[in-house]
Chains A and B, each alone.
Chain A
């Protein structure tokens, strides 16, 4: 049952990303290009997603456990540190350069050529790097 929920959630998320334009770098870069011909489409995407997720969190708080029986997420972390801000800043530079962020970049694999595969491969390496560096550090220390 958990697998079914997961697959269905992924499918809805993916189709949403495709039709929202989030997987299309030209639309994403158009949204960030406030000094050029600004394309406001992503504002509606974020608005639509929050319109469902705000009530979803409210519903989650009223429940003791998830439908499939497991625990619901605990309270959110409140730590704002250099890791969070520095990491986010780097992420934004990559997003502004390529027009792709993690989930849409995977959706785009089916609709684009080699540049999209190069992005996704490098992103996967990047995702694992901080952990590799940390484990190497603790091994030599």
Chain B
């Protein structure tokens, strides 16, 4: 079906304004990218779970990679991280991707990184471990962690944008 006949078809069967409004929601709110990305994240985590019996928790993988935990799975962590970092670059070289903007300069971002690092080390998991892998097995421990870090993240954004930045 060519574009013009598709247009005519849509106009005949649906209210054009409604189609436009739906399309606008999908594009504006990143529904398509968010959903497609989420499905890929789930597929990667699911493959690691059923394929290797491992939980795709980024903070634990990075910690044990850096800590040289030679428990037979160190190389598995290394290639997971290599895939995680290099595949998006390969994808972007074909599909293209915009450069990212940080909200703050290096010193504040470093403070953020330190808080994230120490926090996930004590909590034994982050958005991937507690959020994706924990919530999907209905773990109350992971639910408690996820509710806590989402709440303090939202509170911090509120403080930075509407109290300090106001």
Contact = CB atoms under 8 A, between A and B. Distances in A.
Interface of A: 2-3, 5-27, 29, 32-36, 39-57, 59-60, 63, 65-68, 70-73, 76-80, 83-103, 105-131
B156 A97 contact: yes
Interface in B1-54: 29-31, 33-54
A127 B153 CA distance: 19
Contact of A6 (B76, B101, B109, B158): B76
Nearest to B151: A92
Given A2-B76, A45-B37, A88 B63 contact: no
Q: Is the interface of A mostly helix, strand, loop or mixed?
A: helix
A87 B112 contact: no
Contact of B113 (A24, A77, A105): A105
Contacts of B87: 10-12, 14-15
Contacts of A129: 117-118, 121
A95 to B, nearest CB: 4
B66 A92 contact: no
Given A56-B50, A72-B53, A92 B40 contact: no
Contacts, number: 481
Contacts of A44: 29-31, 34-35, 38
Nearest to B32: A44
- 5 closest residue pairs by CB, A with B: A126-B117, A48-B38, A20-B37, A96-B156, A52-B42
B41 A20 contact: yes
Interface of B: 29-31, 33-56, 58-59, 62-63, 66-67, 75-77, 79-89, 91-92, 97-124, 126-128, 130-137, 139-142, 144-146, 148-158, 160-162
Q: Is the interface of B mostly helix, strand, loop or mixed?
A: helix
Contacts of A47: 35, 38
A19 B152 CA distance: 25
Nearest to B142: A76
Contacts of B120: 87, 91, 101-102, 127
B153 to A, nearest CB: 4
Contact of A2 (B31, B52, B91, B112): B52
Contacts of B157: 29, 32-33, 96
A5 B48 contact: yes
A89 B119 CA distance: 7
Contacts of A76: 134, 137, 139, 141-142
Contact of B53 (A55, A57, A70, A128): A70
A118 to B, nearest CB: 4
Given A76-B141, A96-B160, A6 B99 contact: no
A84 to B, nearest CB: 5
B96 to A, nearest CB: 11
Instruction: Give the residue among A14, A43, A54, A72 with the most B Cβ atoms within 10 A.
Output: A14
Nearest to B157: A32
